[in-house]
Amino acid sequence: MTEVVPASGTVHWIGAGLSTGSGLAALCDTAARVRLWHRTEERAEQALAALGLAGRAEPRAYTPSALAAELAPGDIVVSMLPAPEHGPLLAACVGARAHFACSSYVSDAVLERVPAAEAAGITVLTETGLDPGIDHLFAHSLIARATEAIGPGTAASYTLTSYCGGVPAVPNDFRYRFSWAPVGVLNALRSPARYIEDGAETTADRPWTVTRPHVIDGETFEAYPNRDSVPFVTQYGLPPAWKPLTFVRGTLRLDGWLTAWAPVFAELEQGDDRRIASLARELATRYPTTDADRDRVVLAVSLDVHTGPDEHWSGRYLLDMVGTKEESAMARLVSRPLALGVGHILDGSLPAGLSRGAETGERSEVWLRELGREGLQFGLWVEG
């Protein structure tokens, strides 16, 4: 195994969008030096002031060449940029022997650079935010608990669901408010979703058409699958002796969302890219998230394992958080786990090469305890 480049103590946080929250402040407490890179130095200064971090981090105007000029071996680059920009950023990190961290899924562009990153002795930390991130921690924790209770060699069937959603804390008639790229919200609904239902792989070309009620602590939400859930059966390390009846990772929306969005779905069915881009702008204008609005994030992960007609184990995690005037729930729940992961690069506890935020039940328990100590509240219920 390649020896890891020791962390220098310098963190470069790239981007100060809606998901940059108190995680950045946490790093200002633990790292020797933090630099915030934004479109201009003035905007970086404004972002630091808004976060109460003026004077605690160094503002920088971001360009790839400007960042590359300041990177040193052992530095840590934290990308809050869109996923397509992660590949070039990681390439710069490999060249400088600097570590890389983000909250996003592992893209092909990142994956193809992992061998070079490992050879350079740098950590590539991914999927360390909310979704993906905390959802993985919950799932790994439940699977480890169930495996210990039942045994990995015991024949069983299971249902695993993982649903996450950012919704208005005070519902409006549209059952949603836009807080990030509106066209991205609509285009995500145009991407097919693959999942397991009734023991078979299933694909929904239009995910909203398989939206179903999902009751959480007596409150009814609407849930639909997104992306490709199937690879996570392997990523989560579920015992081969256990057969999936249902395995779905998806999105939560407020009750009534399906009806409220019916005109939007009709437009999406037409598939006119220009019209959809125009519609996204119209909807963002009609249903924006204002300074007076508070967001709410709900994450519910459940695992039910059946070993016989009357024998089963079940467990579930629930996180339900409302944002405050100082910080949105989404910003807190993305940036705090990411900062926690960066802290583990700083202390040298992560290996060279690719590391996802949650890879084992043991790591998940450690990280969940650490997040709990930082004030992130969530519940765990186990039966059987």
* Paired tokens of 277: 């881009």
Burial tier of 214 (Cβ tally within 10 Å: 0-12, 13-18, 19+): buried
Give CA–CA dist 159/243, Å, rounded: 9
CB neighbours (10 Å) of residue 72?
10
Return the half-sphere exposure (C-beta side, CA atoms, 13 A cut-off) of residue 176.
Answer: 24
Question: In sequence order, which residues have a C-beta less than 8 Å from that of residue 326 and are 6 or more positions away?
Answer: none
Q: Determine the distance from the C-alpha atom of residue 152 to the mean position of all C-alpha atoms in its chain, rounded to a whole number.
A: 28
- Pairing outcome for strands 58-61 and 242-254: unpaired
- Which of 188, 137, 140, 182 has its CA nearest to residue 338? 137
Give CA–CA dist 149/147, Å, rounded: 5
> Are 65 and 88 in contact, with CB atoms under 8 Å apart?
no
- Catalytically active residues, by annotation: 131
Question: In sequence order, which residues have a C-beta less than 8 Å from that of residue 185 and are 6 or more positions away?
Answer: 178, 280
Give CA–CA dist 5/99, Å, rounded: 8
Provide the strand spans (E) within 15-138: 33-38, 58-61, 76-79, 99-102, 123-126
Burial tier of 181 (Cβ tally within 10 Å: 0-12, 13-18, 19+): middle
